[in-house]
Structure 1
């Protein structure tokens, strides 16, 4: 493909406005295997399983359950997510264990008599929860792809729940969350009924330990046994919607990942009900026509401009067309078409934003967008990446949605329920909790999985009939609607701009999602760059700008790279979270 020329003005801008690079640690190095997570105890749990002879899936299962103990604001057994697996032979699987709407859910369940959204009903409390999928998903992964037993994989999590773990200042601050205080069982477990935990104390969770032991013995108990009855009885007493029948009907979906190419690499990523993969590929397809390093350095105004305009266009398609593939037909082939990307690229003017209100989709590629009757994911998700000694890789993202999910802890079982129902479109054309406008394809319906931005991704070389593709990167992040743009920027920073995985994880972030029409940046993003972007015509929203106590950051990238020359594993843990780590041997 002929790369687009670089206007002289871009070169002049580049020469005067390179962003100051944030200091970054070196990647963690290992020769055999690597686990990278948001919590050091969870990383150690996964590493211990690898050393016991488990493979990457066993380690991922151990991490998933361990995070339910040590990172309850997002790690979970009461939520759901996606696991992308690539085995040593190159075969891939995408396990969809996303939550599902209960049978009692309805399209207008969060609207008042006047048809307006009832604030908070889809985000806090008993009616906010979808049917959890995490236990089913992790158990399915272990049964079909693991080497050890489920009991072995759960042993570290059970130990952490029984014996406890030492709380850091950041973790203590999280436990002060107001939504936990609203619900007696949550306030009892996480806040000692107002006698808040202090940094350095050991946090034990005996109810959760008992629940994990029951899951280790028989995970089906969660969905069809005595535990399912406990959950359903609690829901009935407290006004929730999840029933025994809902739990019994839950199934994990083993879906085919979607793939695309970018500058000599193969991108393997998430299909719907994740919007992440196809929006990622559409964005990268648009950017394929540019020689970004010649346009500017990483995070330079010229690069940010082109990348932002690609995001704007891909997110426009996200809102109009995407939903649960079991309920909606989606134009994925058209969205991934390089000719469509080329047509979009012709609408981009370097150094100038296109107002979202003026954006017109190229004709001749997509079906008509559904008509919306009105005009009008969470930052607390957890991602972890694993590579084992045989080259099997796992990229897993799962969530409760907002911080501590719905805030509701199931009595006697010690785990929090999600508030994933907010990821549906509560009302057509009205933004959800992350400001995303969503169409009819993501309307609430019984048994339906809400659209997600979670984007677990694996990058390989491009294989040929005479040469097998080789694993290069495993990546992902939390961050709600910003997940897709963060993963895209990680790939661009590494593949185009030559950053290592630690530098990519630590780089300041920017995001555009079509509506609202604003370029969002982290508080740490260089002021001189945002000032030049404002001069171009962008409306800038700086995260946490007016709150000195807010760090103004989002996401938590957990990245692994494989050195193509030595085969060494390089782990990059996001420096925004000081209690996580990359662990290898």
Structure 2
């Protein structure tokens, strides 16, 4: 009897260990918990709207503007100006960006392009040394690195055309924060410490952000009187309070005294563009995102189109198969991003081709599902270097279903570190987003092409990706975006896939470990928390892998039923952000 019992036990154990030959095509639904209530991360709820940003004071201001009868655009402009005060490393009036708007009653998506421009005196080789090498100090940290700012015109234009409240009411909270000051948070104190060397290059900057020769500490009060004066001029005079008169003269004078090239003419002639967003269909969803001069929307739609050729039920989320497929898709899409896109006022962008599903199918056929295709096989180029985390994003939805997805930037944290004398705001270093030297990587490790060469009045190619998602009936679903340089695109892409294909809530989509590949360097970057067994399989498939510091800061807002269910979530990777629900 003992022998029979032993034989039966052995048979049971062998059967339990048996791997079916079709394991490689196992349905990933077996690995996904369909009960969404069991997800660890939970979004924040709002009854009548939601405001999500990287800084709590700014989010509160956005909600207050909704409470005063403003719509999502009013709240967005208030948040944009508030972040210029409370999040000086990224919020700004000295930079530029893109605002995606969904007008729900009109069923219309709009992109406001207020990206910075190269000054009239800019030239192709302006950042090359006498021996032809790229001068990265000049490119990243000098007054020469600044493009003509677009934020003020962008925010004011959005408010005037699509908002409901007057500028002086929307900008007043930012003025009060600058004039009266606010207590330095741990998040702000840390960012000042991390950028101490850069900020020390400007006496004007040190006067604001330093005390007794060192960066402000937690509990100190940050008062910005010069910035308050500049904001008051904008409140009183609108665009002319920045692009003409006192503030414009201060910018031009500071440039002249420090080797910069932004002139009064650059400021008075700066213009923005209202554009049609790029549009893609993925599954039963409508995806609207930013067009060139940002590469974000085109690249995201191209990647989604490629992905549509694969049945993801055979690719368990966060498995080696999943990571491999996503990595290969990103490699091909970033090649197109780096080599085929630029400012549409200067170059022809093949948007119809890059967003075409037939073109995506051709790329899908090239992907080897069992082995990594080296970057050198896709594009012969040089390897690249570091990446910076920068920029800021906010997402807002109001009670009528209007949505705003806004990303704006100074480029690096605190831009080039220089505050305009007497004006109180930091300058951007966006000229570094151009192709300063063919074949050389920029500060985000991107090796870009001729279409992004520097030219006067040209806008540099961007990775900013403020995105709007609607259902098949064009009803509002969510808005999302992130900072993170070249990693913005991969963050938004992965968020969309997790949300649509794996049915995760927005908090889980944001909080779970991120990953990234941009063709060059030929490396799969991953965050802490990624399975070591999975990474081992990636190595066996031919990938080079590298642990990355946490990157980016996704900010998402979702509406499930207008006037009933709003949700938001701010990325836990960055300190100080807040998703705040609006309750009427």
* TM-score of the aligned structures, taking structure 1 as reference length: 0.91
State whether structure 2 residue 576 is matched by structure 1 residue 579. yes
| C-alpha distance in structure 2 between counterparts of 1:15 and 1:37, whole Å | 33
User: Is the counterpart of residue 276 in structure 1 residue 273 in structure 2?
Assistant: no
Residues 171-250 of structure 1 aligned to structure 2 (within 5 Å)? 171-176=188-193, 177=195, 178-192=197-211, 194-218=213-237, 219-250=239-270
| SS of match in other structure, 1:147 | coil
Alignment of 1:16-35 (within 5 A): 24-35=40-51
Question: Matched residues in 2 for 1:379 and 1:11: separation?
Answer: 38
Find the partner of 1:156 among 162, 168, 173. Answer: 173
Report how far residue 168 of structure 1 moved.
2.0
1:63 and 2:79 matched: yes
What is the deviation of 1:193?
A: 5.0
Equivalent in the alignment of 1:547: none
Does structure 2 conserve the Cα–Cα contact (< 8 Å) formed by 1:17 and 1:528?
Answer: no
Q: Give the match for residue 24 of structure 2.
A: 10
| Partner Cα separation in structure 2 for residue 188 and residue 375 of structure 1 | 40
**Structure 1 residues 429-477: Cα deviation after superposition (integer angstroms, max 9, x where no partner):** 21100110111100000000000000000000123xxxxx100111000
1:87 aligns with 2:106: no
| Residue 467 (structure 2) pairs with residue 450 (structure 1) | no
2:60 is aligned to 44
1:16 deviates by 12
Native 8 Å contact 1:17 1:300 kept in 2: no
Query: What are the within-5 Å matches in structure 2 for residues 330-349 of structure 1?
Result: 330-349=349-368
| 1:477 partnered with 2:491 | no
CA distance 1:10–1:156, shift in 2 (3 Å): farther
Aligned CA RMSD, in angstroms, stands at 2.3
| Unaligned segments of structure 2, at least 5 residues | 1-19
Among 529, 549, 560, the residue aligned to 1:563: 560
Deviation at 1:523, TM superposition (A): 3.2
CA pair 241-9 structure 1, distance change in 2 beyond 3 A: farther
- Asked if the contact 1:187–1:193 (Cα under 8 Å) also holds between the matched residues in 2, the reply is no
User: What SS class does the counterpart of residue 129 from structure 2 fall into?
Assistant: coil
Secondary structure of the residue that 1:121 maps to in structure 2? Answer: helix
Secondary structure of the corresponding residue to residue 453 of structure 1:
coil
Distance 2:240 2:423 in 1: 15
Q: Per-residue CA shift, 1:374-410, capped at 9, x if unaligned? A: 9988521100000011111000000000110010000
Alignment partner, residue 515 of structure 1: 520
1: CA distance, partners of 2:214 / 2:138: 28
Whole-Å Cα distance in 2 between the matches of residues 190 and 41 of structure 1?
18
Paired residue for 1:257, among 249, 271, 277? Answer: 277
- Name the residue aligned to 1:432: 442
Q: Which residue of 2 aligns with 1:498?
A: 503
The match for 1:352 is 371
Contact 2:48–2:563, Cα closer than 8 Å, also in 1: no
Secondary structure of 2:455's aligned partner: coil
Q: Would you say the 8 A contact 2:417–2:426 is kept in 1? A: yes
Cα distance change of structure 1 residues 288 and 100 upon mapping to structure 2, 3 Å threshold: same
Q: Which of 479-488 and 194-203 deviates more?
A: 194-203
CA distance in 1, matches of 2:44, 2:221: 28
Preserved contact between residue 560 and residue 566 of structure 2 (Cα < 8 Å) = yes
CA contact (8 A) 1:10 1:302 kept: no
TM superposition shift of 1:564: 5.1
With over 3 angstroms needed to count, the CA separation of the structure-2 counterparts of 1:190 and 1:12, relative to structure 1, is same
Give distance in 1, aligned partners of 2:528 and 2:223.
Answer: 35
Contact 1:27 1:572 in 2 (8 A): yes
State the Cα deviation string for residues 475-527 of structure 1 (Å, max 9, x = none).
00000000001000000011001110111111111111111111111234333
Contact 2:401 2:562 in 1 (8 A): no
Q: Which segment is superposed worse, 563-572 or 401-410?
A: 563-572
Q: Secondary structure at the match of 2:486?
A: helix
Q: Report the CA distance between 1:224 and its aligned residue.
A: 2.0
What residue in structure 1 maps to residue 8 of structure 2? Answer: none
Deviations 1:260-292 (A, max 9, x none): 011110000010000000000000000011221
Q: How does 1:102-141 map to 2 (within 5 A)?
A: 102-141=119-158
2:21 and 2:144 map into 1 onto residues whose CA distance is: 54
Between 286-295 and 552-561, the greater mean CA deviation after superposition: 286-295
In structure 1, distance between residues paired with 2:438 and 2:528: 32
The structure-2 alpha-carbon separation of the partners of 1:18 and 1:143, relative to structure 1 and needing over 3 Å to count, comes to closer
Do the aligned partners of residues 400 and 7 (structure 1) sit closer, same or farther apart at CA in structure 2, a change above 3 Å counting? Answer: farther
In the aligned structure 2, how far is the partner of 1:107 from the partner of 1:320? 17
CA contact (8 A) 1:24 1:506 kept: no
State how far apart, in whole Å, the 2-side matches of 1:348 and 1:503 are.
28
- What is the Cα deviation at residue 307 of structure 1? 1.1
Matches of 1:275 and 1:76, distance apart in 2: 22
Return closer, same or farther for 1:378/1:99 CA change in 2, 3 Å cut-off: farther
CA distance 1:48–1:565, shift in 2 (3 Å):
closer
Cα shift at 1:127 = 0.9
Q: Structure 2 length as normaliser, TM-score? A: 0.91
Q: After superposition, give the CA deviation of every residue in 1:41-83 in whole Å (9 maximum; x if it has no partner).
A: 0100111111001111110000001001110000000000000
What is aligned with 1:489?
Answer: 494
Deviates more, 1:203-212 or 1:523-532: 523-532
Q: How many residues are aligned here?
A: 554
Q: Give the stretch that moved more between structures: 346-355 or 480-489.
A: 346-355
> Aligned runs of 1:387-466 on 2, under 5 Å?
387-463=397-473
